[in-house]
Amino acid sequence: MFDRPAVLFLFFLFPLIALAWRIDFGRGRTTLRDLGGGWRSAVLLDVYVFKSFFSFLFFTLFFVASVLALAGFRWGEHLVEERRSGQELVICLDVSNSMLAEEGGDSRLEHSIRTIRRTVAELEGVRIALVVFKGQAVQLIPLTEDRYVLETALRHVGPLVMTDPGSGLENGIRQSLDSFPASAQTYRSILLVSDGEYHSGNPLAAAEEARSAGIPVYVVAVGTQQGAQVRLPGGKVLSDRNGNPVITRTRLEDLDRIAEISGGRVFGLSGEDREMPEKILGAMKAQAEGNMVLGMRREKKDRFRLLVFLSLLFLALSLAVRAVRWRNVL
């Protein structure tokens, strides 16, 4: 593997180096022929060709080793001891129809999924589960470190995943709590991504249970309090019984209470926010630092010093071949 693969483009300079050597070789051969005359030119030329060939060979090896060193070329593996956060995270994603409201160019659900992807990409050694909720809640993925499974699930989540109408925020939190093992020595937390709308249940009671279990709920409040219309998958605008378009608004006060009761924090997401993962992870890190476990990981061996040593050796040999005098030639 290479730490800086872009440096390998320096190899495209090698034809120019070879061309410069060929021109210099031709000039040197002409000069020797003029100086040595016919009676010594053959011997001088043999020595010149020999020294030029090996000098260029060692210079080529110097060039290759130098580029590989600059590119951070690594091979072989060794075990490295590291301290990992013994952390488990359940992502609780709202997939009710209100999450289809378009704000900031895309739907709330699309903004939420992108934020989840970016957040997960920054998490290493953390077991993650995925819970989605609408009228009811279901665990799509149990706790795992397999990011491919999570990515596959995120490509297919939406209101059509579940047939139950409504938005059961309490059910989502309770299902997230049930996704953790009964006993664990790790730092556990829930990432709730929702606009806060719910039609039944008491999510504050579920937040109380999370606090009792020592599991903070970090809330990403999606959308705005100004509200927006809901456009269903077929393109139809969701209407009430009187035929008026439904305006869905983020219930920030309820979401803030959930985070406050459980010991977490709330973050507002009203559109594209590439800094949101940093805000979420920064809040989690402060509480997770005390839950570190000792682990081992495989790492490619760093060969920079070896390659630098070889490059200097080849450069010295290249210069020595040209500088050392050949006895009994002149």
If one compares 171 and 200, the residue with the highest pLDDT of the two is 171
Asked if 78 and 299 touch (Cβ cutoff 8 Å), the reply is yes
Mean pLDDT of the chain: 83
Report pLDDT for 323: 78
Residue 298, classed as helix, strand or coil, is strand
Report pLDDT for 101: 86
Shortest CA distance to 207 belongs to which of 166, 269, 168, 255?
Answer: 255
* Residue 26 identity (one-letter amino acid): G
Report pLDDT for 87: 82
Integer CA distances (angstroms), 164 to 46, 66, 160, 161, 187, in order: 89, 63, 9, 9, 32
Dist. CA 74–CA 315, nearest whole Å: 22
The structural domains of the chain, ordered by start, are 5-73+303-323 (no CATH), 82-294 (3.40.50.410)
* Location of structure tokens 């060979």: 57
Q: With 0.85 as the threshold, say if the pTM is over it.
A: no
Report pLDDT for 167: 76
Confidence of residue 243 (pLDDT cuts 50, 70, 90): confident
Report pLDDT for 86: 65
181-226: per-residue pLDDT in tens? 876 667 889 999 998 888 778 999 999 999 998 899 999 999 887 8
Q: What is the DSSP string of 119-172?
A: HHHT--SEEEEEEEESSSEEEEEEEES-HHHHHHHHTT-SGGG----S--HHHH
Asked if 210 and 174 touch (Cβ cutoff 8 Å), the reply is no
Confidence of residue 146 (pLDDT cuts 50, 70, 90): confident
The stretch 169-181 carries a mean pLDDT of 92
The H-or-E segment that residue 187 falls in is strand 187-194
